[in-house]
Chain A
Amino acid sequence: MKADIVIIGGGISGVSIAYNLAKQGMKNIVVFDDNYMTGGATGRCGAGVRQQWGTKMNCLMAKKSIEFFEQAQEELNYHRDIEFKQKGYLIVAVTQEEEQKFKENITLQNALGIPSRFLTQDEALDIVPHLNKDAFLSATYCPTDGHLNPFLMTDAYYHAAKKLGVTFHYYEKVIDIVVENQQIKEVITDKRRVKTHKVVNAAGGYAKEVGELAGVDIPVYSENHQILVTEPIEPMQDPMVISFAHNIYCQQVPHGAFIMGRSPNNPQHNHDMSSSWQFLEEMAKTATTLLPALADLRVIRQWGGSYNCSPDRQPIISESNLPGFYLACGFSGHGFMFAPMTGLLLSEIILNKPTTIDIKDLHVNRFENMEKTEYETSVV
């Protein structure tokens, strides 16, 4: 078998890259994924999409991705509803330092055209009346942030890419990449060999291992993050509520359930995707402190997934030192919301076109000179 390009990973990044390449006319695109569709981080995520970031790159990636989500249903001509809801993100400030930093973030975001704004405590309570006023000082809010269904969004890209001729093989694992004289020759899966000179590494939590198959060292690691969902109830909370200080993100999805997660206390670098009672307890305490009205809600399921993190918590989207080996990884817990731009930008790089936004700051080489990069602090 031959392919013009092989994409390893059919999560949200892989399907978006495949779709964007095919849309721009590339033929013979083959995607391999060793699991069912969305078996990686994509199917385990909170699926929140927000533009309130602290670095310019993250703001731009998110803003332009949301512009895509706004018309994704039509562009991809999908037969189910992707359940896109734009009811905002409300980020609470708990300390004076946080408030100060958030004000700086708003200045940056507004300069880039993101309609976020600062809210006093009373204004925040108008939007989310059940916030505990003893647990925060003020907030920032962006009305066009939101949420969409991660399974159906992935499926929408998948169907659209398939119509454009992309071939997908789920349940098929890439086990080796043959490289000779700095050129990719072949991709070997557990079922076949594919001759190709171009490979995209969109392997999520296993991006480092897939890099190693090609002899390329990528400074990313995986970290277990957990999340839970409650029974669905009538709509009562419009925006996603986040607090970095309390360590929580919590939102009611259109279907009615509340989804909430927080970062682990002592993150280890490994592929653990389990869920723990410690998380459940910490999550319940945090949620009922910040949002006491949720105490009566029943938790029905909890699970874990991997954040694939980069040293500066910003994505890696670039070619690597091995020509023809492209990277889309290190999303550090926010690769779902960036996927439309990930696909567009990487396809432009692969097709040697000028990129829609300048993304030299997302090049893997930036870590060779770490002082130069900005560090994203607005993460849960």
Chain B
Amino acid sequence: MNKEDVIICRCEDVTLKQLHDCFEEGYTTFEEVKRILRIGMGPCQANTCSLLVQKEIAQFTKQPLNKVDTHVIRPLITGVPLGSLAKEAKDES
């Protein structure tokens, strides 16, 4: 398996190689690799990559999977256009 060809975060085009390089630099939590590589910051908000990254971290740090934190879930659950939000807000007031 060529690590440069394996995409781990589809939204931000992050490869497995980039993730492993980040681990080697000492960044071994989801919060850290997210900020260095933008993993999980794209439109899917880590819904796709979170478990994959968790597994990679567990393997690298030799911890059981349930000891590895995944991403912080922030609003919104799915992308919503600014115009729709503004319209709803105006209709209410």
A-side residues, CB < 8 A to B, are 36-39, 43, 80, 151-152, 155, 229-232, 255, 275, 277, 280-282, 284-285, 287-289, 294-303
Q: Are B81 and A298 in contact (CB under 8 A)?
A: yes
Contacts of B43 in A (CB 8 A): 231, 298, 300
Interface-forming stretch among B51-59, B60-68, B83-91?
B83-91
- 8 more A-B residue pairs beyond the given contacts A37-B35, A285-B86, A299-B81, with a C-beta to C-beta distance below 8 A: A36-B29, A37-B32, A280-B75, A280-B76, A298-B43, A298-B81, A299-B76, A301-B41
Contacts of A80 in B (CB 8 A): 36
Tell me which of B32, B38, B86 has the highest count of chain A C-beta atoms within 10 A of its own C-beta.
Answer: B86
Contacts of B88 in A (CB 8 A): 281
| 6 pairs from A and B in contact (CB 8 Å cutoff) | A37-B32, A80-B36, A231-B42, A289-B86, A298-B81, A301-B76
Q: Within the complex, which residue of B29, B31, B80 is in contact with A299, where a contact is CB–CB below 8 Å?
A: B80
A327 to B8, CA, bound (A): 42
Q: Within the complex, which residue of B36, B42, B82 is in contact with A287, where a contact is CB–CB below 8 Å?
A: B82
Contacts of B41 in A (CB 8 A): 229, 301
A80 to B2, CA, bound (A): 22
Query: Contacts A284-B85, A301-B74; is A38 near B35 (CB within 8 Å)?
Result: yes
Q: Are A151 and B36 in contact (CB under 8 A)?
A: yes
Q: Are B31 and A39 in contact (CB under 8 A)?
A: yes
The number of chain B residues with a CB under 8 A from chain A is: 23
Query: Contacts A36-B29, A39-B31, A300-B43; is A288 near B86 (CB within 8 Å)?
Result: yes
**Chain B residue with the shortest CB-CB distance to A36:** B31
A36 to B36, CA, bound (A): 12
Q: Within the complex, which residue of B76, B85, B89 is in contact with A300, where a contact is CB–CB below 8 Å?
A: B76
Contacts of B90 in A (CB 8 A): 285
Query: Contacts A231-B43, A281-B88, A285-B89; is A296 near B83 (CB within 8 Å)?
Result: yes
**Chain B residue with the shortest CB-CB distance to A298:** B79
Query: Contacts A231-B43, A284-B86, A297-B82; is A302 near B76 (CB within 8 Å)?
Result: yes
Q: Are A298 and B31 in contact (CB under 8 A)?
A: no
Contacts of A36 in B (CB 8 A): 29, 31-32, 35
Q: Within the complex, which residue of B29, B76, B82 is in contact with A288, where a contact is CB–CB below 8 Å?
A: B82
The reply on B45 being an interface residue by CB < 8 A is yes
A285 to B86, CA, bound (A): 5
Per CB-CB distance, the 9 closest pairs between chain A and chain B, nearest first, are A295-B83, A298-B79, A284-B85, A281-B89, A151-B35, A284-B86, A288-B86, A36-B31, A285-B86
A164 to B51, CA, bound (A): 37
